[in-house]
């Protein structure tokens, strides 16, 4: 991963560091406990802790975004850990050993494949070889599993930030999200098809409704007016080549009464949906006109998907 001596890359000198460079780890702990992290070599660090109460925890932290260094010295923000492997030697004393319940754990705070915030807890002992106090640990992020034992729940290694960039057009945002999701799930073993759906009122990108208040605001905004639904798909080949397609559909809601909005919110169909509604349900009865792709509004534009697959050589009748 790279860093450069400027806020933006505009031809300035740049250099590279290895992901997880020891110089950029920090530590967090509850007071009055004390802890420190020291870089002892270009590829090593040491953590010293002083505990005052039983059960106290200290966390050694690597952040995808460099929040502590000056912007001119910060490393590049990169949240995709697919195909990344962290190897290190663990040597400890005076703390819980690797093999005990609730022992040393890797906590990964990121997002799942749907872009929702998640945390996974990976037991280090599951990936260790050696003794509980002196072991080699190898963490392949593309195949990590959380939980006490193996097999466990698969960890999603890419945290995709779904925040639109400043001034980003809805169609550009939809394509970028589909492209990033395809790259995040990249595999050398086969093709990856990913997509994203954006609801836009003019140039305004409506959020995915995570609560009823957000869904209500979206429906009140869309009531009696036209809006666009942009569904982008991206197909990534094993060699990294990307193909993209975009479906754009115009949708017109009838003028919604307060009672109709309340009834739709009570159905729960809005949860996690862009623009606060799902056309494949009760909302279809509130839509007076649609111009474009119905399947695109659902979330996967079938015509564009078929054309994309055929362009990649898939035999489709």
Whether the pLDDT of residue 250 is over 60: the answer is yes
Residues 199, 226 contacting (CB under 8 angstroms)? no
Mean pLDDT of 197-207: 94
Mean pLDDT of 93-105: 91
Whether the pLDDT of residue 1 is over 70: the answer is no
Which are the contacts of 47, defined by CB distance < 8 A and separation ≥ 6?
A: 27, 35, 36, 37, 38, 58, 60
Domains, the chain, ordered by start: 2-154 (no CATH), 170-311 (3.90.950.10)
Query: How far out from the chain centre does Cα 47 lie?
Result: 29
Whole-angstrom distance, CA of residue 108 vs CA of residue 129: 21
Mean pLDDT of 252-265: 96
Which helix (DSSP H) or strand (DSSP E) does residue 121 occupy? Answer: strand 117-123
Q: What is the pLDDT of residue 75?
A: 81
For the annotated catalytic residues, the residue numbers are 196
> Which region among 47-56, 72-81, 147-156, 227-236 has the lowest average model confidence (pLDDT)?
72-81
């Amino acid at each position: 991963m790279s860093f450069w001596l400027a806020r933006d890359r505009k031809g300035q000198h740049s250099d590279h560091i290895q992901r997880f460079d020891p110089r950029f780890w920090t530590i967090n702990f509850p007071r009055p406990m004390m802890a420190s992290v020291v870089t002892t070599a270009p590829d090593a660090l040491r953590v010293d802790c002083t505990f005052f109460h039983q059960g106290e925890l200290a966390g050694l932290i690597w952040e995808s975004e460099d929040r502590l260094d000056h912007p001119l010295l910060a490393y590049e923000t990169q949240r995709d850990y697919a195909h990344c492997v962290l190897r290190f030697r663990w040597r400890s004393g005076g703390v819980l050993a690797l093999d005990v319940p609730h022992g040393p754990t890797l906590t990964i705070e990121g997002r799942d494949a749907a872009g929702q915030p998640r945390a996974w807890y990976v037991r280090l002992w599951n990936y260790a070889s050696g003794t509980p106090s002196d072991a080699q640990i190898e963490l392949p992020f593309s195949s990590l599993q959380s939980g006490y034992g193996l097999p466990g729940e698969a960890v999603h290694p890419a945290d995709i930030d779904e925040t639109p960039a400043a001034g980003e057009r809805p169609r550009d945002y939809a394509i970028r999200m589909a492209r990033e999701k395809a790259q995040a799930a990249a595999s050398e073993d086969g093709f990856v098809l990913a997509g994203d759906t954006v609801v836009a009122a003019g140039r305004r990108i409506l959020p995915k409704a995570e609560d009823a208040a957000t869904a209500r605001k979206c429906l009140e905004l869309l009531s009696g007016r036209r809006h666009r639904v942009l569904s982008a798909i991206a197909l990534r080949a094993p060699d990294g080549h990307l193909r993209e397609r975009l479906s754009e559909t115009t949708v017109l809601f009838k003028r919604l009464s307060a009672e109709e909005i309340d009834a739709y919110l009570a159905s729960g169909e809005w949860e996690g949906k862009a623009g606060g509604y799902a056309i494949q349900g009760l909302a279809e009865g509130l839509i007076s006109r649609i111009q474009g792709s119905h399947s695109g509004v659902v979330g996967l534009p079938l015509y564009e998907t078929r054309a994309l697959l055929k362009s990649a050589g898939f035999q489709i009748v």
